[in-house]
A and B are shown apart, each in its own frame.
Chain A
Amino acid sequence: MNDHTPQGEHDSTPVPLNQGHVQGTGGIPERFENPGLPPHVHRASDTDEQAAKRAERTIAGLFGLSMLGTVLFLVAYFMVDVDEMTFVPGIGDMSLSNLLLGLGLALALLGIGLGAVQWAKTLMPDEEVVEMRHPMRSSDEAREGFVQTILDGGESSQLTRRPLIKATLGGALGLFSLPLLVQLAGSLGPLPRNDLSVTFWNGEKGEDGTWTAMQRRLHLDPEDRPIKASDVTIGSVFHVLPEGLQSELHGAEKLNEITKASVLVMRLNPDEFQDTPQGRKARDWGYQGIVAYSKVCTHVGCPVGLYEQTTHHLLCPCHQSTFDVTNDCEVIFGPAGRPLPQLKIGVDAQGYLIAEQSFQEPVGPSFWERES
Chain B
Amino acid sequence: MSTTARPADALRADDTTRREPASPGLKKVGGVAGWIDDRTGAAKGVGYLMKKVFPDHWSFMLGEIAMYSMIVCMLTGVFLTLWFDPTQGEVVYEGSYVPLQGVEMSRAYASTLDISFDVKGGLLIRQIHHWSALLFIVALSVHMLRVFFTGAFRKPREINWVIGCLLSMLALIEGFAGYSLPDDLLSGTGLRAAQGFMLSAPVIGSYLSYALFGGGFPGEDIIPRLYSLHILLLPGILIALFTAHIVLVAVQKHTQYPGPGRTNDNVVGFPVMPVYAAKAGGFFFIVFGGIALISSLVQINAVWVHGPYMPNATTAGAQPDWYMLFPDGALRLLPGWLEHTTFGFTWAWPVIIGSLLVIPLFYAGMIAYPFIEAWVTGDQREHHLLDRPRNRPVRTGLGVAAFTLWAVLTFASSNDIMAIKFDLSINDITNALRVLTFVGPLIAFWATRRICLSLQRHDRETVLHGRESGMIVRGPDGDFHEVHEPLDPYERWTLVQHEAHEPLQLEADEVDENGVARKGGAKRKLRARLSEFYYGGAVHPVTPAELEAAHHDGHEHEAIESANRADESEVDPVRSVGAERH
| A325 at interface, CB cutoff 8 A | no
Given contacts A4-B453, A302-B189, 10 further A-B contacts (CB under 8 A): A7-B566, A7-B569, A34-B493, A113-B289, A119-B282, A120-B278, A120-B282, A300-B197, A338-B339, A365-B348
Complex CA–CA separation, A11 to B384 (angstroms): 29
> Do the beta carbons of B574 and A4 come within 8 Å of each other?
yes
> Do the beta carbons of A109 and B292 come within 8 Å of each other?
yes
Chain B residues with CB under 8 Å of A305's CB are 314-316
Segment touching B, from A152-160, A252-260, A278-286, A352-360? A252-260
Q: Find the B residue at minimum CB distance from A99.
A: B296
Q: Find the B residue at minimum CB distance from A10.
A: B572
Chain B residues with CB under 8 Å of A14's CB are 502-505, 577, 579, 582
> Do the beta carbons of A364 and B263 come within 8 Å of each other?
no
> Do the beta carbons of A295 and B213 come within 8 Å of each other?
no
Chain B residues with CB under 8 Å of A100's CB are 296
| B344 at interface, CB cutoff 8 A | yes
Contact with B along A1-39 (1 / 0, CB 8 A): 110111111111111111111011000111110111110
Q: Nearest Cβ distance between residue A217 and chain B, in whole angstroms?
A: 17
Contact residue among A19, A107, A252, A262 (Cβ-Cβ distance under 8 Å from B289): A107
| B88 at interface, CB cutoff 8 A | yes
> Do the beta carbons of B268 and A337 come within 8 Å of each other?
no
Residue contacts A-B, CB under 8 angstroms, 8 given: A8-B575, A17-B524, A38-B261, A94-B299, A106-B293, A191-B207, A300-B355, A369-B345
Segment touching A, from B134-142, B217-225, B435-443, B466-474? B217-225
Segment touching B, from A169-177, A313-321, A341-349? A313-321
Q: Nearest Cβ distance between residue A351 and chain B, in whole angstroms?
A: 26
Knowing A7-B569, A119-B278, A334-B332 are in contact, say whether A129-B203 is a contact too (CB < 8 A): no
Contact with A along B185-219 (1 / 0, CB 8 A): 00001001101110111111111011111111111
Segment touching B, from A44-52, A131-139, A203-211, A224-232? A131-139
Quick one: which of B206-257 are within 8 Å of A by CB? 206-207, 209-221, 252-253
| B285 at interface, CB cutoff 8 A | yes
Knowing A299-B351, A366-B339 are in contact, say whether A130-B282 is a contact too (CB < 8 A): no
Q: Find the B residue at minimum CB distance from A252.
A: B220
Q: Is the interface of A mostly helix, strand, loop or mixed?
A: loop
| A303 at interface, CB cutoff 8 A | yes
Quick one: which of A80-118 are within 8 Å of B by CB? 82-83, 88, 91, 94-95, 97-103, 105-117
Complex CA–CA separation, A302 to B380 (angstroms): 51
| A336 at interface, CB cutoff 8 A | yes
Q: Find the A residue at minimum CB distance from B193.
A: A300
| A306 at interface, CB cutoff 8 A | yes
Segment touching A, from B18-26, B164-172, B359-367, B540-548? B540-548
Chain B residues with CB under 8 Å of A189's CB are 210-215, 219, 221
Q: Find the B residue at minimum CB distance from A7.
A: B566
> Do the beta carbons of B261 and A36 come within 8 Å of each other?
yes
Complex CA–CA separation, A163 to B20 (angstroms): 61
Closest A-B pairs by Cβ, 10 of them: A102-B296, A300-B196, A337-B339, A305-B314, A116-B282, A113-B285, A37-B261, A109-B289, A8-B569, A110-B289
| B156 at interface, CB cutoff 8 A | yes
> Do the beta carbons of A102 and B297 come within 8 Å of each other?
yes
Knowing A83-B117, A250-B90, A365-B200 are in contact, say whether A31-B293 is a contact too (CB < 8 A): no
Q: Find the A residue at minimum CB distance from B261.
A: A37
> Do the beta carbons of B121 and A77 come within 8 Å of each other?
yes
Complex CA–CA separation, A17 to B293 (angstroms): 56
Complex CA–CA separation, A372 to B344 (angstroms): 6
> Do the beta carbons of A133 and B384 come within 8 Å of each other?
yes
> Do the beta carbons of A128 and B377 come within 8 Å of each other?
no
| B422 at interface, CB cutoff 8 A | no
| B490 at interface, CB cutoff 8 A | yes
> Do the beta carbons of A133 and B253 come within 8 Å of each other?
yes
Chain B residues with CB under 8 Å of A32's CB are 492-493, 496-497, 541-544
Interface residues on A, range: 35 or more
> Do the beta carbons of A20 and B200 come within 8 Å of each other?
no
| B336 at interface, CB cutoff 8 A | yes
> Do the beta carbons of B544 and A259 come within 8 Å of each other?
no
Q: Nearest Cβ distance between residue A94 and chain B, in whole angstroms?
A: 7
Complex CA–CA separation, A262 to B313 (angstroms): 10
Complex CA–CA separation, A18 to B336 (angstroms): 49
Knowing A109-B292, A131-B52, A320-B415 are in contact, say whether A259-B261 is a contact too (CB < 8 A): no
Q: Find the A residue at minimum CB distance from B495.
A: A32
Contact residue among B89, B124, B192, B500 (Cβ-Cβ distance under 8 Å from A29): B500
> Do the beta carbons of B117 and A299 come within 8 Å of each other?
no
| B489 at interface, CB cutoff 8 A | yes
| B378 at interface, CB cutoff 8 A | yes
Q: Nearest Cβ distance between residue A9 and chain B, in whole angstroms?
A: 8
Q: Nearest Cβ distance between residue A212 and chain B, in whole angstroms?
A: 20
Chain A residues with CB under 8 Å of B555's CB are none
Segment touching A, from B4-12, B269-277, B396-404? B269-277
Chain B residues with CB under 8 Å of A135's CB are 382
Contact residue among B202, B210, B299, B312 (Cβ-Cβ distance under 8 Å from A258): B312
Q: Nearest Cβ distance between residue B514 and chain A, in whole angstroms?
A: 20
> Do the beta carbons of B504 and A366 come within 8 Å of each other?
no
Complex CA–CA separation, A177 to B500 (angstroms): 53
| A140 at interface, CB cutoff 8 A | no
Quick one: which of A315-333 are within 8 Å of B by CB? 317-321, 331, 333
Q: Find the B residue at minimum CB distance from A37.
A: B261
| B279 at interface, CB cutoff 8 A | yes
Chain A residues with CB under 8 Å of B89's CB are 251
> Do the beta carbons of A91 and B117 come within 8 Å of each other?
no
| B462 at interface, CB cutoff 8 A | no
Contact residue among B192, B203, B507, B582 (Cβ-Cβ distance under 8 Å from A301): B192
Q: Find the A residue at minimum CB distance from B351.
A: A300
> Do the beta carbons of B310 and A258 come within 8 Å of each other?
yes
> Do the beta carbons of B275 and A124 come within 8 Å of each other?
yes
> Do the beta carbons of A188 and B500 come within 8 Å of each other?
no
> Do the beta carbons of B293 and A303 come within 8 Å of each other?
no
